Chains A and B, each alone.
Chain A
């Protein structure tokens, strides 16, 4: 009886996840048929004309996530080095609790702070580049950086802590300074875990919805003329998630192609976050010696 129940509930979970994947593949078929590769590679989203190309949104997602990583990873690694290598155990636990609280702050609250504070700071701070508004890819990136910072800190701290203290002691016994033992002994050995923290944070950044929606500007069909132009970060944009959570999702249902284009975005997002998450999880496993 117990065994049967376990199996039934587990299979229910597996079937639901299978159904989810199947639906996102199957329901996006119409748009793939309609657009072909252009769906992935073109800059056009005019749903009244039934033209769907998601490149600007993929670009938006990648750019805001990249900005978030560039800002959050160095700070996160630095903070993790401090908690893991400099703090005594009790204080370290206290700091970790606080950092995890920061991780729990809902996206909608970050979004609110973004709308009422960060948006103006970005607009004023970058005035000489003449942004059209404070709703920019950069604003979303900065907000995301704060949101993923705790993920980076917590996972990196765990990775650093997993290096045996005998290694540190041996290095100090040779006359190396604490910084040298950290930089040359601990960090190199924790590199897989540190890498995993980046990948898992990336997965989280790409999937974050509410906060990005509120500050990214939600402008369709925006691609920079020059991919490496930093000024383009001060334009409004659209990410995959900000499109998915917009009211277009309500409108699209019932129109097979338009709905396919929406669900297809979900599928692309699933592939991107899934790749980052699974790769990150694989990284945390010890390689077989």
Chain B
């Protein structure tokens, strides 16, 4: 009986893990198998024609990259400021805890809520209309907690002796930040940003009311009324009338490109994350 329970537990746990991995494998397989045939040089360099049934996704890719770059640039200074607050400037245990709890709370806010917030404030109040900048700023809010927490963890991992040594040389706190803390922790900023952007790249809800349209946009030249195309919104719209076989192949191709982009971003974050893990393990 006990031996049976022992074997059964192992078997059930194994089956569960296998199922989780099989889901990933199956998902990637389906997307690659159906999207693969659509991939060609032209798919990346041409613009869409015939409502997605022909042409490529050049401006969708560019639009998504613009949004991601904006989100990165907007979130980085705020994340640095918040992480320094937590590690350096805030004294009390309580205020620090409020800050981290707040970050977890922001992380739990559904992205559609940010999307509607951006629609009210940036699109309507500021009168930007749909704008790449509005989308980038809203995506920055989505990824802010991820970036900040990664940066905080990196800062926490800096050995106290470095800070003490710098303080021993008579450096002020601001000087220690610029000379010791930030140079040592930029890896955390990059890792966190890559992870955050991997999430942001696939989001539809934050940008559909603020930044992106389906067709007819190219490079934005201003802020007001300057929408971009984007990869996830492209898929979102095409998916809703996916019965045209011509559209189908382009649709799966776009999904494959988006999946590739998302996976590349999270895998690029991997080496630094594993190193932090190793250090935590041996330290």
Question: Do A's and B's CB atoms come within 8 Å in the complex?
Answer: yes
Let me know if B17 and A23 touch, CB within 8 A.
no
Tell whether A178 pairs with B263 under 8 Å between CB atoms, given A79-B19, A82-B16, A273-B109.
no
Residue of A nearest to B274 (CB): A93
B102 at the interface (CB under 8 A from A): yes
B130, chain A: closest CB distance, angstroms: 11
Let me know if A105 and B13 touch, CB within 8 A.
no
B138, chain A: closest CB distance, angstroms: 11
B219 at the interface (CB under 8 A from A): no
List B residues 85-113 near A (Cβ within 8 Å).
Answer: 85, 88-89, 101-102, 104-113
B80 proximity list for chain A (CB < 8 A) = 6, 9
List A residues 7-24 near B (Cβ within 8 Å).
Answer: 7-10, 12-14, 16-17, 19-20, 23-24
Residue of B82, B101, B116 touching A244 (CB-CB under 8 A): B116
Residue of B nearest to A178 (CB): B6
Question: Bound state CA distance, A89 and B85, in angstroms?
Answer: 35
Question: Bound state CA distance, A245 and B233, in angstroms?
Answer: 12
Let me know if B205 and A109 touch, CB within 8 A.
no
A266 proximity list for chain B (CB < 8 A) = 112-113, 116
Residue of B nearest to A112 (CB): B239
List A residues 67-101 near B (Cβ within 8 Å).
Answer: 74-79, 81-83, 85-86, 93, 95, 97-101
Let me know if B202 and A183 touch, CB within 8 A.
no
Mark the stretch among B51-59, B65-73, B157-165, B254-262 that contacts chain A.
Answer: B254-262
SS class, residues of chain A in contact with chain B: helix
Mark the stretch among A37-45, A200-208, A224-232 that contacts chain B.
Answer: A200-208
Residue of A14, A101, A253, A274 touching B266 (CB-CB under 8 A): A101
Binding site for B on A (CB under 8 A): 1-3, 5-10, 12-14, 16-17, 19-20, 23-24, 27, 74-79, 81-83, 85-86, 93, 95, 97-102, 104-109, 111-113, 115-117, 146, 149-150, 153, 177-180, 182-183, 200, 203-204, 206-210, 214, 241, 244-245, 249-250, 253, 262-263, 266, 269-270, 273-274, 276-278, 281
